[in-house]
Structure 1
């Protein structure tokens, strides 16, 4: 690809450190906290374990089932999957907008293993390659290895090994995680809106997420982006769940009203 700038004389440490600092400032699902060398702090498990030991995911899904009550296992599986997918996609896309494609070895990426804990992400010895965010297609191609193949694909396989749930639904969740990250970045960092849109659109436009959703810009005079998915995560089946903002089941008038309300809000 033409947009790779290379690691530089310091092996990429400076640009990666800056990108991690940017993720910290963004907070929320974008945050990716470095951990020191050696054994991770108590309560953390690697994503490699998550993919290789289905019982870990099964415990998270069972915890969700107990919290929500009498709900189909596939509904809880989808909710848990979407939470993990968002924690993987958000820092990856934001770092790419900052000019770095992060390496995310599953054995070096960690999550908090506690029944009621959020899926917070930690990383040991963060590394990456500097890229030109303007080369959206090239950046998306670089992201497919560390994000799609090393994480989203084994994550979906691990979920489906324990619960009967549609593979297309899970890839729709992955596309939704990308779209959600684009939407949040367009609000948090409006100067990144165009690059987030372009990289996110290129990322989901090929492979298993192709045709499962699209980024939308209702007002070309503003930075706000939204996402419309073409499948359903089943959240509406939870007690009091309702329809998600990007749900395929929303009628156009309701969706447009939600977009207008969001665009009228003060910047975060």
Structure 2
């Protein structure tokens, strides 16, 4: 299922790494909420291969389970909230382990990544290894591989299930990515210039190999230069007891 593009490289690690120490080092500060949610380990019984969520009934079953406590909830809001957990774990792993940890070629394709579901919601991510040591200028490569091989088909499935615009889900991914780039570069400045990475990954209409960028236009700047506002509302506020997304919300602007 995972089609490598011309920019990608083999995903096997090129040297041993103390995975626990790596996670302890990078899942801190702004990424501390991912501590205990990301593991580098062999697949276990609790982890569902992400490929299963892209093929067959597993995704619909997870969304139904998540929706149950909300009663007759808006399915767009259910799928949107689900995607925020899902994208947050995957994008967070690439930002924390990849950029802040100095690794690349992470096994984030659907056939390799395992997803732990609790109450239908993505609660954990299991990766079989931590890639290899990164070389300069590789910061964007795993993100592009992630969006091409994994998040793009997931957006298609979520959009079809919830009968919602793909732009809703790409907005969720862009919001996470915009935040994660700045935090990872602050932890490890040699990972790259956050402004240049945002330009490449969020603003340019095409990626370096000429492929279309589905994230372009998902965010827009506002009066506060530190805040990039979504163009499409995530609608998660339609779920009882779930707050909106704060200063990046486009409603009322």
- Answer yes or no: is 1:27 the counterpart of 2:27: no
Per-residue CA distance 1:171-223 (angstroms, 9 max, x = gap): 1111112123246557x84968974454244212240110111577947xxxx
Q: What residue in structure 2 maps to residue 260 of structure 1?
A: none
> Normalized per residue, which structure has more helix?
1
Q: What residue in structure 1 maps to residue 63 of structure 2?
A: 61
Q: What residue in structure 2 maps to residue 211 of structure 1?
A: 217
Per-residue CA distance 1:133-152 (angstroms, 9 max, x = gap): xx4xx63245312x111111
With over 3 angstroms needed to count, the CA separation of the structure-2 counterparts of 1:97 and 1:185, relative to structure 1, is closer
Within-5 A mapping of 1:66-145: 66-94=68-96, 95-103=98-106, 104-115=108-119, 118-128=122-132, 130-132=134-136, 135=137, 139-145=139-145
With over 3 angstroms needed to count, the CA separation of the structure-2 counterparts of 1:28 and 1:236, relative to structure 1, is same
CA distance in 1, matches of 2:179, 2:58: 26
CA distance in 1, matches of 2:156, 2:124: 21
Larger Rg: 1
Deviation at 1:85, TM superposition (A): 0.9
Where does the alignment leave 5 or more consecutive residues of structure 2 unmatched? 1-6, 205-212
Q: Give the CA RMSD over aligned residues.
A: 3.4
TM-score (norm 2): 0.75
With over 3 angstroms needed to count, the CA separation of the structure-2 counterparts of 1:152 and 1:235, relative to structure 1, is same
Q: What residue in structure 2 maps to residue 202 of structure 1?
A: 200
Contact 1:51 1:155 (C-alpha < 8 Å) held by counterparts: yes
With over 3 angstroms needed to count, the CA separation of the structure-2 counterparts of 1:120 and 1:144, relative to structure 1, is same
Pairs aligned (count) = 230
Deviation at 1:105, TM superposition (A): 2.9
CA distance in 2, matches of 1:18, 1:151: 27
Q: What residue in structure 1 maps to residue 207 of structure 2?
A: none
With over 3 angstroms needed to count, the CA separation of the structure-2 counterparts of 1:242 and 1:184, relative to structure 1, is same
With over 3 angstroms needed to count, the CA separation of the structure-2 counterparts of 1:237 and 1:183, relative to structure 1, is farther
CA distance in 1, matches of 2:251, 2:167: 16
With over 3 angstroms needed to count, the CA separation of the structure-2 counterparts of 1:126 and 1:107, relative to structure 1, is farther
CA distance in 2, matches of 1:142, 1:118: 21
Contact 1:16 1:127 (C-alpha < 8 Å) held by counterparts: no
TM-score (norm 1): 0.71
